[in-house]
Amino acid sequence: MRMYDLIGKKKRGGALSREELHFMVSGFVEGSIPDYQMSAMLMAICFKGMAEEETVNLTLEMEYSGDRMDLSAIPGVKVDKHSTGGVGDKTTLVLAPIVAACGGRVAKMSGRGLGHTGGTLDKLESIPGLTTSLSGEDFFRVVRECGLAVVGQTGNMVPADKKLYALRDVTATIDCVPLIASSIMSKKLAAGSDAILLDVKTGSGAFMKTPEAARTLAEQMVRIGRAAGRRTEAFITNMDIPLGHAIGNALEVREAVEVLHGRGPEDLTEVCLTLASRMLVLGGCAEEENARARAEEAVRSGQALRKLAEMVHAQGGDEQYIFEPERLTVSPVRHEVCADADGYIACMDTEGIGIASMLLGAGRSRKEDTLDYGAGIILRRKRGQFVRTGEVLAELYTSEEGRLAAAEKEFRASLTLSEKEPEPEPLIYGTVRGSEGESA
Ligand code: URA
């Protein structure tokens, strides 16, 4: 078999067989297929697309390209959640403890933030002492004892995705649905959970800018998960506005804890309860009719909050920060951004707001950047609200005064004021649950 012929086949719109995909992925990982040939293949896939079965087979080849997590030693159904990334998205910190409090098992591998999007590992590491680097044995022990653990990827998992993603990043081949779907799902499948709930974001702060594009991606990922024998479903949720009010690591932990106290922002609380309820159904912990009530009760009773504290303690952190989140350090330089005109906030460019937070030190523009855990933004006004000149729109926090000017400029450029009240947008656009006849 020759890579040259496979590129030609794809260029003419052909579908690659499992055997051909195996040759391509394993050859690329071991280095016998060079970057220039793989680049040509990726671009041909962007133009010609992939058949359904072909996308599933590519994902499976990627999943099996390195180590895989075997969670069978943990009793019960393990449920995972994946968000395609956004701004202010701290849902994992809320819903994983809710699910664990209701008897579910969440053995979660999360990522770090890059660019305008945040990452769960960074948020958790803003809690003093907490580590997200656990040995396999400790990871299993924490999940068995607490019902949840959140760690970074260990070992040599899905090396095919690492190499392919790096190449896609420099060859303008990121925004291709079968490549995104296989990249995300290969990692989710290798992480070993029995059930996967996908939160596909749409809007100005998301990868998929329209609900239609998000649905296409969600459908492909659900099909892949089910074909691989995992219970997989997706929600399509709004990322045209940041979720909640807090953006930045410690600020987001504080807000997540507020939700677990039952006094968090409405939009964040609603998304968390909706996703957590569905995870309970997927994990076999509740029926569709009572899942929401169980999730709400886990918050009301304080059980979910205690679960988060247990996990923080088990991962080496000081759990008192969960009971007294105001002790989490916020960066010392505080600056208010005030409205310079009257009007409705008609539009928030969420990606721009994420970039403003990154400029304050809360995120990374390059992988090797260090973080200012207490930096970020508290939004005091959001889309749809009317503001008067001089009213505070947001508070910016940073440790370096020199960062304020660029961040404020970016933040201001992200808001559009209008005389006209904008139409409200849904928080949740829809669900994808797979269809009859599919496996899982
Ligand atoms: N996230 C991923 O993990 N992969 C993609 O291709 C896009 C987003």
**pLDDT tens string 165-192:** 999 988 999 889 999 999 999 999 999 9
301: tokens are 């009773």
Active site residues: 82, 161, 168, 183, 187
Closest atom of ligand 1 to 111 CA is: 3
- As a whole-number percent, the residues of the chain with pLDDT over 90 amount to 90
Question: How many Å lie between the centroid of ligand 1 and the Cα of residue 10?
Answer: 22
Q: What is the pTM of this model?
A: 0.94
Task: For the chain, state the CA radius of gyration.
Answer: 22
What average pLDDT does the segment 69-96 reach? 94
Q: What is the mean pLDDT of the chain?
A: 95
**What pLDDT, on a 0 to 100 scale, did the predictor assign at position 383?**
97
Residue nearest (by alpha carbon) to ligand 1 atom 2: 184
Q: How sure is the predictor about 369, in pLDDT bands with cuts at 50, 70 and 90?
A: confident
- Nearest protein CA to atom 1 of ligand 1, as residue: 184
* 9 pLDDT higher than 90: yes
Q: Residue 270: is its pLDDT beyond 60?
A: yes
Position 272 pLDDT exceeds 70: yes
Q: Between the ranges 115-124, 277-286, 362-371, where is the mean pLDDT highest?
A: 277-286
Q: What is the pLDDT of residue 439?
A: 52
Q: Which amino acid is at 320?
A: Q
pLDDT number for residue 440:
57
pLDDT band for position 437 (cuts 50, 70, 90): very low
Measured in whole angstroms, the distance separating CA 249 from the mean position of its chain's CA atoms is 14
CB 259 within 8 Å of CB 269:
yes
| In the chain, % of residues over pLDDT 70 | 99
Predicted confidence at residue 355, as pLDDT, reads 95
What mean pLDDT do residues 355-373 have?
A: 91
- For ligand 1, atom 7, the nearest C-alpha belongs to 180
Among 45, 183, 185, 186, residue to substitute to test ligand 1 (most atoms within 8 Å of Cβ): 183
Query: What whole-number distance in Å separates Cα of residue 424 and Cα of residue 6?
Result: 48
| pLDDT tens-digit readout, 375-413 | 999 999 999 999 999 999 999 999 999 999 999 999 999
Which ligand 1 atom sits closest to the C-alpha of 174? 6
Does ligand 1 lie within 6 Å of residue 198's CB atom?
Answer: no
Instruction: Give residue-wise pLDDT tens across range 84-122.
Output: 988 999 999 999 999 999 999 999 999 888 778 889 999
Lowest pLDDT segment from 18-22, 30-34, 206-210, 211-215: 206-210
Give the residue, by CA position, lying nearest to ligand 1 atom 6.
180
The ligand 1 atom at the shortest distance from the C-alpha of residue 179 is 6
- Measure the CA–CA gap between 240 and 351, rounded to whole angstroms: 9
Nearest Cα residue to atom 8 of ligand 1? 180
What tokens does 9 get?
């086949």
Question: Which residue has a Cα nearest atom 3 of ligand 1?
Answer: 184
Please report, for residues 379, 381, 422, the alpha-carbon distance to residue 417 in angstroms, rounded to integers and kept in the order given: 15, 12, 10
Ligand 1 centroid distance, CA of 436 (Å): 28
Instruction: Fill in the DSSP letter of residue 135.
Output: -
Whether 183 is in the pocket of ligand 1, judged by its Cβ within 6 Å, is yes
H-helix or E-strand spanning residue 155: none
The finding on whether 180 has its CB within 6 A of some atom of ligand 1 is: yes
Ligand 1: does its nearest atom lie under 6 Å from the Cβ of 148? no
Ligand 1 centroid, distance to 135 Cα (angstroms): 25
Kindly report, residue by residue over 131-178, the tens digit of the pLDDT: 999 998 999 999 999 999 999 987 789 999 999 999 998 899 988 999
pLDDT bracket for residue 277 (50, 70, 90): very high
| Segment 323-332, tens digit of pLDDT | 999 999 999 9
